[in-house]
């Protein structure tokens, strides 16, 4: 299992990983001995390096079908230093074959670095990242936050799976950086790990290549397939850092797909070079946790028995929860807003982990996400009919409203109050409240535009309303990024009535486009939208607290009243929202402070 170690030294080093786990939360005193026992159980664990070598040799034939030079690479798994030397050789032979791709790699764009900031190296490990693969907000964070951290004098690498669905334009620009073989859990096999690299805007993207795990078209399929895939990815990401001899100060991993990274780091990798890194685990959505039965997780990870206890991975009588284990072993836990950090310690929002999170609350922080001003900028956005900024929003926003009405077949009338909703059409997003109040909202002065796909019941409900209120209600059951930009620019208000919302980005986009948010006071919505005060004129949106349709209707009516009866104050709030800094810069500074707090030297 020594593949984790850098080809030069890590192999032997990892032998000592087992006892080192003793430092972790769960029963420190017992952990060390338990991990000793785990070694034999894993068939090639840390104990008895001499036995491990023959085991690795048996595994070699299994890998023989692999790429070029597996026979040399397999011994790399041996715990002996000489094996490491062979490992180095293989990539060197393979590299020339791929070298042709090198010229295609993008040179790093010039980045303004704030050199007065202390320098730290950070490895981001996660399952998706725009523009390579994105299914939700995690992809935006993995793209935007590293780029901003580079400006704060961080050396950043982003480690991702090399999915087959990554567009060819990026696949063609990847440069081969090496390969090695890695044992995995109790499978008795060695698995190929290739490293392909792409550099852009000062950020290095390293893609973990293995066709056996990443050949499907989508990143997420089902737990039966995803559990082995992300067990492999978590271990291979750390092994790749050792292989490249790029040892970060911080390993920053995201959601359940990378939650085993802190567990591997403090157990099997603790005595390898990467073992000295501190770990941070960010929760983007607590609902998804990676829960499967203990024997399966043990089989695919080879982790010692000491981690399968109630204080770590164990959940219930027979399940292992990958996210729960990561939360226990990470040095710090972050989530995407301060309010959500508090909410997830309660039964209502804790998704069964509220007690576990309360126990680890001393290392839990909430940091609100930002938006990428390069992607979301009404002054330069090519999707808009007229661009505008803070200084001329009142002159040009109306043209975008009329263009949106025309595009969607709505009555073209700048006097109408246009409400937008851009969302996944799921129960989490408060759409049952929306469908309940539509008849009262459609009063002849209001138009509603919906954009998104999701649950059939909501898609059908909104299609019905489109037919019932022709020319006043548009249901765009699709995902269209350009149209989303035009809705942000053309709508007067944006609806985000979520049941729960860890952070939320749509309300931030709306504010930056001069569109006032109407939100429920939960998670990041509460942290970013201050309710408008009729008496003082303060605030930047309209809010309601309890999850009730009547309160949503009241918030909409308050927004409409201000719009129709006091346009001067409405326009003031529009300009205040556009002036508000919702960029990634503030968030990145808070993450940098957290990195420095963890690595004081």
Query: What's the pLDDT at 117?
Result: 76
Q: Which two tokens stand for residue 189?
A: 């096999």
> Where is 558: in which H helix or E strand?
helix 549-565
Question: What is the secondary structure of 219-240 as a DSSP string?
Answer: S---HHHHHHHHHHHHHHHHHH
Phi, psi (degrees; rounded to nearest 5) at 78: -55, 155
What DSSP designation does 454 have?
B
- Helix H, strand E, coil C: the string for 480-537 is CHHHHHHHHHHCCEEEECCCCCCCCCHHHHHHHCCCEEEEECCHHHHHHCCECCCCCC
Query: What's the pLDDT at 216?
Result: 79
Query: What's the pLDDT at 112?
Result: 65
Query: What's the pLDDT at 43?
Result: 35
Rounded-to-integer distance, Cα 430 and Cα 509, Å: 19
> Where is 404: in which H helix or E strand?
helix 393-407
> 293 Cβ partners below 8 Å, 6+ apart?
318, 319, 320
Question: Looking at the structure, do residues 60 and 155 belong to the same domain, yes or no?
Answer: yes
Question: Looking at the structure, do residues 192 and 303 belong to the same domain, yes or no?
Answer: yes
383 in a structural domain? no
Instruction: Report how many domains make up the chain.
Output: 2
Cβ–Cβ < 8 Å for 353, 324? yes
380 in a structural domain? no
pTM higher than 0.85, yes or no?
no
Question: Looking at the structure, do residues 414 and 359 belong to the same domain, yes or no?
Answer: no
Question: Looking at the structure, do residues 398 and 366 belong to the same domain, yes or no?
Answer: no
- What is the dihedral sign for C-alpha 348, 350, 356, 360? negative
Query: What's the pLDDT at 559?
Result: 98
Which mean pLDDT values do the consecutive 10-residue runs of the chain (601 residues) have?
41 38 39 36 38 37 37 37 38 38 41 74 96 89 95 96 95 96 96 96 95 88 94 98 97 98 97 97 94 97 96 95 98 96 96 97 96 92 96 95 97 96 94 97 96 96 97 95 96 97 94 98 96 95 97 98 96 96 94 95 67
Rounded-to-integer distance, Cα 545 and Cα 555, Å: 10
333 in a structural domain? yes
Question: Looking at the structure, do residues 350 and 454 belong to the same domain, yes or no?
Answer: no
456 in a structural domain? yes
> Where is 450: in which H helix or E strand?
strand 446-451
CATH number at residue 345: 3.40.50.2000
Q: Which two tokens stand for residue 3?
A: 């593949």
Question: Looking at the structure, do residues 224 and 123 belong to the same domain, yes or no?
Answer: yes
Question: Looking at the structure, do residues 462 and 562 belong to the same domain, yes or no?
Answer: yes
Q: Which two tokens stand for residue 187?
A: 């499978």
377 in a structural domain? no
Question: Which residue spans within 186-262 are E strands per DSSP?
Answer: 190-200, 203-209, 250-254
> Where is 279: in which H helix or E strand?
strand 278-283
The length of the chain in residues reads 601
> Where is 568: in which H helix or E strand?
helix 567-579
Question: Looking at the structure, do residues 195 and 140 belong to the same domain, yes or no?
Answer: yes
Question: Looking at the structure, do residues 255 and 311 belong to the same domain, yes or no?
Answer: yes
Query: What's the pLDDT at 201?
Result: 85
228 in a structural domain? yes
386 in a structural domain? no
Backbone dihedral region of 247: left (phi > 0), alpha (psi from -120 to 50 degrees) or beta? beta
Question: Looking at the structure, do residues 431 and 350 belong to the same domain, yes or no?
Answer: no
What DSSP designation does 163 have?
-
Question: Looking at the structure, do residues 469 and 365 belong to the same domain, yes or no?
Answer: no
Question: Looking at the structure, do residues 325 and 258 belong to the same domain, yes or no?
Answer: yes
Q: Which two tokens stand for residue 337?
A: 């807003």
Number of neighbours of residue 442 by Cβ within 10 angstroms: 16
384 in a structural domain? no
Provide the pairing of β-strand 319-321 with 314-315.
antiparallel
Domain that holds residue 20: 2-100+113-370+593-598
Burial 203-235 (b: 16+ CB within 10 A, else e): bbbbbbbbeebbeeeebeeeeeebbbbbbbbbb
Rounded-to-integer distance, Cα 76 and Cα 238, Å: 16
Query: What's the pLDDT at 17?
Result: 38
Task: Give the closest residue to 282 by CA, choosing from 331, 228, 354.
Answer: 331
């Amino acid at each position: 299992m020594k593949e984790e170690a850098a080809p030069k030294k890590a192999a032997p080093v990892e032998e000592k990983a087992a006892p080192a786990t003793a430092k972790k939360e769960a029963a420190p005193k017992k952990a060390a001995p338990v991990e000793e026992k785990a070694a034999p159980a894993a068939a090639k664990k840390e104990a008895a390096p001499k036995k491990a070598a023959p085991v690795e040799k048996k595994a070699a034939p299994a890998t023989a079908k692999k790429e070029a030079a597996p026979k040399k690479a397999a011994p790399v798994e041996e715990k002996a230093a000489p094996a490491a030397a062979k490992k180095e050789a293989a990539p060197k032979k393979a590299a020339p074959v791929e070298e042709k791709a090198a010229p295609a790699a993008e040179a790093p764009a010039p980045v303004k670095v704030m050199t007065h900031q202390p320098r730290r190296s950070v490895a981001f490990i996660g399952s998706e990242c725009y523009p390579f693969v994105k299914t939700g907000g995690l992809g935006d964070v993995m793209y935007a936050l590293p780029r901003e951290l580079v400006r704060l004098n961080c050396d950043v690498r982003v480690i991702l799976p090399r999915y087959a669905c990554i567009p060819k334009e990026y696949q063609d620009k990847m440069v081969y950086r090496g390969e090695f073989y890695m044992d995995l859990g109790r499978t008795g096999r060695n698995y190929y790990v290739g490293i392909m690299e792409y550099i852009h805007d000062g950020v290095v993207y390293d893609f973990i290549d293995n066709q056996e795990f990443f050949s499907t078209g989508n990143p997420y399929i089902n737990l039966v397939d995803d559990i082995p895939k992300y067990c492999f990815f978590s271990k291979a990401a750390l092994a790749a850092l050792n292989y490249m001899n790029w040892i970060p100060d911080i390993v920053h991993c995201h959601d359940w797909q990378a939650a085993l990274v802190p567990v591997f780091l403090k157990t099997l990798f603790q005595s390898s070079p990467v073992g000295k890194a501190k770990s941070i685990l960010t929760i983007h959505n607590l609902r998804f946790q990676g829960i499967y039965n203990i024997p399966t997780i043990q089989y695919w990870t080879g982790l010692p028995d000491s981690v399968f206890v109630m204080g770590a991975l164990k959940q219930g009588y027979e399940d292992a929860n990958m996210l729960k284990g990561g939360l226990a072993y990470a040095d710090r836990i972050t989530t995407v807003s301060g309010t959500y950090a508090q909410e997830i310690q309660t039964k209502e929002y804790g998704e069964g982990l509220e007690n576990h999170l309360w126990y680890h609350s001393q290392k839990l922080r909430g940091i609100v996400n930002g938006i990428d001003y390069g992607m979301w900028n009404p002054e330069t956005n090519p999707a808009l009919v007229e661009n505008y900024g803070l200084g001329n929003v009142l002159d040009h926003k109306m043209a975008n409203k009329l263009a949106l009405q025309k595009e969607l077949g709505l009555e073209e009338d700048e006097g109408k109050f246009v409400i937008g909703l851009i969302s996944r059409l799921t129960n989490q997003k408060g759409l049952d409240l929306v469908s309940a109040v539509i008849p009262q909202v459609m009063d002849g002065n209001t138009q509603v535009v919906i954009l998104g796909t999701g649950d059939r019941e909501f898609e059908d409900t909104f299609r019905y309303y489109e037919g019932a209120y022709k020319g006043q209600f548009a249901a765009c059951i699709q995902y269209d990024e350009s149209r989303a930009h035009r809705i942000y620019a053309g709508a007067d208000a944006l609806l985000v009535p979520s049941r729960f919302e860890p952070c939320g980005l749509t309300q931030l986009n709306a504010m930056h486009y001069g569109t006032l948010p109407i939100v429920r006071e939960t998670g990041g919505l509460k942290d970013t939208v201050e309710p408008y005060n009729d008496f003082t004129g303060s605030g930047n949106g309209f809010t309601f607290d309890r999850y009730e349709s009547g309160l949503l209707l009241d918030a909409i009516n308050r927004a409409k009243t201000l719009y129709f009866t006091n346009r001067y104050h409405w326009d003031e709030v529009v300009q205040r929202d556009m002036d508000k800094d919702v960029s990634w810069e503030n968030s990145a500074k808070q993450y940098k402070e957290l990195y420095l707090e963890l690595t004081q030297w």
